[in-house]
């Protein structure tokens, strides 16, 4: 039975180590909605293609979030929905102040490009065994340039988080992607000291610690990105 909030049940289908799943879980914690029902889906067993998931998400992917009669199959849509629906709950992740809101939304919507360069263009190709060394060298150069942009954003923000002193939606969306890259061997220091400091700070945030991928604990990841920086 799914956990009920304001008369509506909540259930999340998720996979351990998935950055999109992790961001939804982080937002739920930040909004004080951490008592939702959940089901851990095994990627190794191809459970994303199970009948249960396919009925909810014809793409056969997670996260899939069910709230009452509403089904949301995109992580960013889920996060924005939760912030909009539960504005007065927990941490306000999108500021009301217009200039600050614009900056948070800008950084939030830049994250898919960051994820593409770091995970889709590199990590997932290694996972599939489709490795062309010359192509990988070009993609690693592209990722390093992307990391330099985010290093600059943090430096300009002048605080602990992407847009300043406040933890926002941008951090919920960005950090899981960065953490997966670190898990895959990305060394942030000494090349990107601001990103390294940011990683250390956000890693200790309660919402992040509580939702840390369970299969990461006590294990090491691949070293696919260890020569990017």
* DSSP per-residue codes, 125-180: HHHHT---HHHHHHHHHHHHHHHHHHHHHHHHHTSSBTTBSS--HHHHHHHHHHHH
* Predicted local confidence at residue 7, as pLDDT: 56
**124-152: pLDDT as tens digits:** 677 767 677 888 888 899 999 999 999 99
Q: Do domains 10-86 and 98-216 have the same CATH topology?
A: no
The pLDDT score that the predictor gives to residue 130 is 66
Token pair in block for residue 110 = 């830049």
pLDDT under 50: residue ranges of the chain: 1-2, 4
Tens-digit pLDDT profile for residues 44-60 = 999 999 999 999 999 99
pLDDT of residue 211: 98
CATH class of 98-216: mainly alpha
For the chain, which residues make up each domain, given as ranges?
10-86, 98-216
pLDDT at position 5: 58
Class at the top of the CATH hierarchy for domain 10-86: alpha beta
Rounded alpha-carbon distances, angstroms, from residue 137 to 46, 84, 122, 179, 224: 31, 41, 10, 21, 12
Cα gap 88→174, rounded to integer Å: 23
Q: What are the phi and psi torsion angles at 187 (to 5°)?
A: -100, 115
Question: Of the candidates 12, 172, 10, which has an alpha carbon nearest to the alpha carbon of residue 2?
Answer: 10
8 Å CB contact between 29 and 93: no
CA dihedral 26, 208, 141, 104 (to 10 degrees): 50
Cβ proximity of 131 and 222 under 8 Å: no
What pLDDT is stored for residue 223 in this prediction? 87
Query: The pTM is what?
Result: 0.94
């Amino acid at each position: 039975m799914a956990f009920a909030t304001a008369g509506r049940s909540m259930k999340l289908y998720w996979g351990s180590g998935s950055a999109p799943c992790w961001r939804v879980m982080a937002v739920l914690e930040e909004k004080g909605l951490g008592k939702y029902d959940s089901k851990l889906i095994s990627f190794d067993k191809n459970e994303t293609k199970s009948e249960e998931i396919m009925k909810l998400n014809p793409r056969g992917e997670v996260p899939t979030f069910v709230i009452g009669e509403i089904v949301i199959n995109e992580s960013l849509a889920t996060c924005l929905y939760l912030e909009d629906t539960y504005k007065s709950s927990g941490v306000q992740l999108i500021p009301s102040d217009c200039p600050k809101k614009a900056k948070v939304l800008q950084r939030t919507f830049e994250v898919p490009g960051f994820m593409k360069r770091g995970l889709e263009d590199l990590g997932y190709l290694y996972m599939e065994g489709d490795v062309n060394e010359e192509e990988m060298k070009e993609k690693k150069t592209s990722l390093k340039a992307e990391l330099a942009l985010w290093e600059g954003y943090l430096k300009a923000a002048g605080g602990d988080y992407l847009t300043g002193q406040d933890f926002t939606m941008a951090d919920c969306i960005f950090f899981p992607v960065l953490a997966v890259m670190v898990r895959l061997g990305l060394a942030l220091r000494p090349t990107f000291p601001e990103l390294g400091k940011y990683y250390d700070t956000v890693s200790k945030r309660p919402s992040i610690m509580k939702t840390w991928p369970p299969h990461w604990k006590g294990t090491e990841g691949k070293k696919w990105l260890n020569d990017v920086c």
